[in-house]
Amino acid sequence: MNNTKYNKGLHDIGNGIYAYLQPDGSWGWSNAGLITDCNESLLVDTLYDQPLTATMLKAMKDATGIEAKEINTLVNTHANGDHTWGNGLVRNAEIITSKQTAEQMLEEISPQMMVNMLLNAKNMGEAGEFILENFSGFAWEGLEVTMPTKTFEGELDLKVGHKSVKLKNVGPAHTDGDTLVYVPDDKVIYTGDILFIDGTPVIWSGPTSNWIKACDYILSLDVDVIVPGHGPITDKNGVRQVRDYLNYISVESRRRFDAGMNFYEAANDIALGDFGKWTDTERIVINVFSQYKEFNKETTKAEVPDIIELLKLMQQYKNNNSLKSTHSHNCCENH
């Protein structure tokens, strides 16, 4: 068990290993990491824009003396912008991802598309409301995405100084490729977005069963310190909570699919219990949608709203649920 507080900035895990955390971990506020030994270094992920990444790299230099241009290797755990859009500041490094992540990076929404959506958000109804609430304030103007320079399939063993570092692609799960970065001698693992801690996981790709398998794989390793893609540093209890959520969503979605509910009705109908204390509960809309996509493949039914429609439905879910909580609050006052 570790006692690291969830403060913004660089956390020294010990023996040349660091985590960089960005509370509160919600949309776009991701974590990263640095592994160093004998003047060699490996950076795990960059952040959502270059100023955020520059601040992180400065903190890393202050702690280790290693400048951004001296970083040997960058591993992008997956394709989402909040883990890759700062890559341009680490151009001297060899940039490694799984083959699936490199492919997905070519298809991902671009920084310019995000800028355009923000400019147009006022005309986009509830989807626009969602975009303004969650994605304002990042510096994406003119940002070009820097692509990986090396890809791997399955697993890749690296050395940082004398330290062994094991990369393993456990995707598709959160995205098409999801790489774990494991440092066995130090019993530390960086999981990318295979783990959201105290925040709701989001199933962009699935299958969910594969993500649950990834959680089981982490639980099988000899690890003490687990750095998630979002949220505070955790241990195996954090992994179990994510696995429990995924199991729960999977079972409850299936029940409602079989009963003929549509995915949005199902998302609203599933009681979150303790999972409701996490941030970004509205992601259940995407999660149930992803489950239905899997079920529909079995039944060949098609139900495919686009991303803007999903953003709109997430905003509706948020608005409904804040109405529900205001309503129950009033009821209490009346009695």
User: What is the rounded distance in angstroms from the CA atom of residue 254 to the CA atom of residue 278?
Assistant: 23
Q: Minimum distance from CB of 230 to Zn ion (Å)?
A: 6
Nearer to Zn ion, 64 or 234 (CB): 234
Give the three-state DSSP class for 157.
strand
Nearer to Zn ion, 36 or 179 (CB): 179
**Whole-angstrom distance between the N-terminal and C-terminal Cα of the chain?**
44
Q: Minimum distance from CB of 18 to Zn ion (Å)?
A: 18
Nearer to Zn ion, 82 or 280 (CB): 82
Nearer to Zn ion, 16 or 192 (CB): 192
Nearer to Zn ion, 78 or 243 (CB): 78
Pairing of strands 73-75, 40-44: parallel
The amino acid at 41? S
Nearest to 185 by CA among 4, 31, 10, 13: 13
Q: Minimum distance from CB of 229 to Zn ion (Å)?
A: 5
Nearer to Zn ion, 47 or 313 (CB): 47
Q: Minimum distance from CB of 81 to Zn ion (Å)?
A: 8
Q: Minimum distance from CB of 174 to Zn ion (Å)?
A: 8
What are the helix (H) ranges across the chain?
50-64, 99-107, 111-120, 125-135, 208-220, 236-258, 263-269, 284-299, 307-334
Nearer to Zn ion, 47 or 127 (CB): 47
The amino acid at 251? V
User: What is the rounded distance in angstroms from the CA atom of residue 184 to the CA atom of residue 190?
Assistant: 11
| Residues whose CB is less than 8 angstroms from the CB of residue 208 and which lie 6 or more positions away in sequence, other chains included | 173, 246, 249, 250, 290, 291, 294
Q: Minimum distance from CB of 31 to Zn ion (Å)?
A: 8
Q: Minimum distance from CB of 178 to Zn ion (Å)?
A: 11
Give residues in contact with Zn ion (CB under 5 A): 30, 80, 82, 193, 229
**Phi/psi of residue 318, each to 5°?**
-60, -45
- Residue 157's CB is within 10 A of a number of other CB atoms, namely 10
Nearer to Zn ion, 11 or 83 (CB): 83
User: What is the rounded distance in angstroms from the CA atom of residue 247 to the CA atom of residue 275?
Assistant: 12
Q: Minimum distance from CB of 233 to Zn ion (Å)?
A: 16
Match 């996981």 to its residue by tokens. 201
